[in-house]
Amino acid sequence: MNVKPPKHILSKSTFMYGCQCPKRLWLHKYQPNERDEIDEEQQAVFQQGTDIGKLAEQLFPGGVDARPKDAFSYQQSVADTAKYIAKGHEVIYEAAFQYEGLLCAVDILVKQNDQWYAYEVKSNTSVKPQHIPDAAFQYYVITHAGLELTDFSIIHLNNQYIRKGDLNVQELFCAESVLENILLEQDFIHSQGESLKEMLQHKKDMPQVEMGDHCNKPYACDFQGFCTADYEAEEDEPEEEYIDKEFVQEFLSAIEYPIYHMDFESWSTAVPQHDGHWPFRQVCFQYSVHVERSADAAPEHYEYLAEGTHCSSLDFLESLLKVLGKKGTILVYNKTFEATRLKELMREYPQYEKAIQKVLDRMVDLMQPFRKHVRLPAMQGSYSIKKVLPAMVPELSYDELPIGNGGDASAAFYHLKDTIDSADVERTRKALLEYCKMDTYAMVRLLGVLRGI
């Protein structure tokens, strides 16, 4: 007889909400309409996790699927899982278990030599601290529901895997046992579970929790808009203007003509799609360079935009090296990003090692003065170019651009491969060029402001 248990009180996700912030859990339960809207970028992250979970099932093929038909049918999944175990299935996907109001579904459950092994799949390249209580909750529920587990492992992406030819799933993933760590968490899981269940069952008043680092750790809370409405009334006074003229003068003295203002854009995916790619590799698809050849010369603009995600990074690199010349300062904003991409290209194309090293030697970070030495209230405590530009050059802004930030640029370029309408393709490519061009023109103007100081 296929008997479904009563509806659960806490799932793994809601348990983790409560661990991060009890107020988040309370709002999820009693005021879900206050939740922030999920943007496209966050939705893509969720979908990526789902896709990687499905891909990892190929490590243990031939299993039976216990997934529920919808988010309201997990009790059926619990019943189905029990049925599949009783029938002798040795691989179960999304196996669900319930114990005293606690529910979990583990990605892959495997029986080998009459022993059960649980695997949870994560779209990271290593085991993270937040994965331990997450897995500990699952272990607690599964074992208290009556199934003995010999081991519990996290399956994550292998950042040492470089694709060559067909995707090799066995090499793409790593499995790492976390049993020793999650056994240490079992008492905490029990006491925390009891506390959170008691809060939800008796509908206590909403917990009063101040905003802080926990709002974004380990994950961004989806009720920040609700909390911010109260918090904004208590905002700190804006910081005072501060300009270290001596530092600015020293910074400017190290810059030599011709000056190349340079910016890259990149895309990445968790699962490498082309030869030479690894998980989350940042693939450069675009650059913009504004060149000031002398103090009184108008800036010249150069740009590159790949035809699609299939394009070789070599095209990008060779085009860039031709533009950058042999001498002069190369200015970037947030040097770490461009420098890291160039070092990756150096390893991939050793024939250009010397040329790339010379570029690295010429690079100067325009962000440096704005971190500590040039601060205006309008920067709102940030040294991001998106905040610095309107503070320093009020007539310039990213707000009117169709694409106004790097995340949107990356997504827009990546999705061009699925865009059929040629007019839409042309419109997106034009917007990408406008955005990247703005980044380097902004650098030209910011350098001009520093000279004025």
Q: How far apart are CA 11 and CA 22, in angstroms?
A: 14
pLDDT of 165 above 60: yes
Q: What pairing do the DSSP bridges indicate for beta strands 10-11 and 330-332?
A: unpaired
- Residue 126 has a CB neighbour count (10 Å cut-off) of 13
Give the least confident one: 20-24, 47-51, 202-206, 297-301.
202-206
Q: Which pLDDT tens digit goes with each residue over 24-77?
A: 999 999 999 999 988 767 777 788 888 999 999 999 999 999 999 988 889 999
The reported pLDDT for the residue numbered 49 is: 87
Please give the domain boundaries of the chain with CATH numbers for all domains: 10-232 (3.90.320), 242-452 (3.30.420.10)
* Span 71-88, average pLDDT: 94
Q: Which pLDDT tens digit goes with each residue over 246-263?
A: 999 999 999 999 999 999
The reported pLDDT for the residue numbered 236 is: 52
pLDDT of 177 above 70: yes
Q: Percent of the chain at pLDDT above 70? A: 97
The reported pLDDT for the residue numbered 230 is: 63
Please, which pLDDT band fits residue 237 given cuts at 50, 70 and 90?
low
The reported pLDDT for the residue numbered 4 is: 76
Q: Which residue has the higher pLDDT, 38 or 213?
A: 213
Q: In the numeric block, which tokens belong to residue 237?
A: 């006074």
- Among 202, 192, 140, 263, CA closest to 15: 192
* Span 363-373, average pLDDT: 95
- Rounded to two decimals, the pTM is 0.86
At what angle are helices 353-362 and 313-324 packed, to 10 degrees? 50
What is the amino acid identity at position 291? Answer: V
pLDDT of 234 above 80: no
Instruction: Please check whether residue 303 is in contact with residue 437, taking contact to mean a CB–CB distance below 8 angstroms.
Output: yes
Q: Percent of the chain at pLDDT above 90? A: 87
The reported pLDDT for the residue numbered 453 is: 86
* Span 71-97, average pLDDT: 95
Q: In the numeric block, which tokens belong to residue 149?
A: 């587990």
pLDDT of 137 above 90: yes
Q: In the numeric block, which tokens belong to residue 369?
A: 């003065």
* Span 2-20, average pLDDT: 90
Q: Residue 165 — φ and ψ, nearest 5°?
A: 80, -145
Please, which pLDDT band fits residue 238 given cuts at 50, 70 and 90?
low
Q: Which pLDDT tens digit goes with each residue over 370-408?
A: 999 999 999 988 999 999 999 999 999 888 899 999 999
What is the amino acid identity at position 421? Answer: D
pLDDT of 441 above 60: yes
Q: Residue 435 — φ and ψ, nearest 5°?
A: -65, -50
The reported pLDDT for the residue numbered 72 is: 83
Q: What is the mean pLDDT of the chain?
A: 93
Instruction: Please check whether residue 370 is in contact with residue 442, taking contact to mean a CB–CB distance below 8 angstroms.
Output: no
* Span 416-423, average pLDDT: 94
First to last CA, the chain: 80
3-state helix, strand, coil in the chain (%, to 5): 45, 20, 35
